[in-house]
Amino acid sequence: MLVHPQFNPVALDLSPIGVPLAIHWYGITYLVGFGLFLYLANRRIRQPQFAATGWTRRDVEDLLFYGVVGTVIGGRLGYVLFYKAGYYLQHPLEVFAVWKGGMAFHGGLLGVLVAMALFARSRKRHFLEVSDLVAPCVPTGFAAGRIGNFINGELWGRPADPSLPWAMVFPQAGEPSVPRHPSQLYQFALEGMLLFVLLWLYARKPRAMGQVSGAFLFGYGVLRFVAEYFRQPDSFLEPQPLGLSRGQWLCVPMILAGIALWLWARRRAAAAPTAQPA
């Protein structure tokens, strides 16, 4: 049975040399995620279906800026509304205390969707063209974030059989003798690396506009739904219907939306008139 190493969340503390700055591992993982997005998106715009419509490196950089803003605002508001609405209703000023933590993926996703819509409008591009470009470039950012969760020893898993070779005790959980699933690493592998590989391979060939986005919604929803069986639900949440977690219920509309979008895109492409040779 393993024990979480309890890493120092501060990767580099400059205060001993008179600089009031501490660089956290979690911040580094965010930077890694953004850097991977730039690299992958710049590879995507060189693919024929995007190169033909004039995408540039400047577009990718601007899109990243929109996405960062959408992630931060949407992730924070999602946490406030989806998970602790009652608390923040009583303490409204703490909504802005982002340094205390509290971000929600599903809220971040909604924020990114709004940001992409604004970007698409500013560039006079179809929203689904933008989302199809972005979708395969996102899971590596999820993977980086989950490594940050593991380093911080947060979002630990449910209790596990002590005979499980990688069962891990998280002293931060307040139960130092209870082995748990290292669910952060499960999510790194599933909704991070596995989803990236599947989407990247799927998106290498030209697809009907909207199909890559639909595949992303479906794939993330399914893989996150599975991972939630191993992740310990937040203690402040009430039991959810059917024994599912709040995260699983939030994945259901993603899965359904992904299926609907993929089927709609396929029908739309099939119904489009094809050019006849002269």
Residues flagged as binding site:
146
Paired tokens of 11: 């990767």
Alpha-carbon span 186 to 197, nearest angstrom: 15
Element (H, E) at 237: none
Task: Tell me how far CA of residue 131 lies from CA of 22, 26, 144, 198, 218, in angstroms.
Answer: 35, 26, 21, 16, 14
Decide if 187 contacts 157 (C-beta within 8 A): no
Paired tokens of 185: 């690493």
Element (H, E) at 183: helix 183-187
* DSSP symbols for 95-147: GG-GGG----HHHHHHHHHHHHHHHHHHHT--HHHHHHHHGGGSHHHHHHHHH
Neighbours of 118 (CB within 10 A): 14
- Where are any strands of DSSP class E within the chain? 2-3, 10-13, 22-24, 168-169, 179-180
Q: Using the 8-state DSSP alphabet, how is residue 233 labeled?
A: P
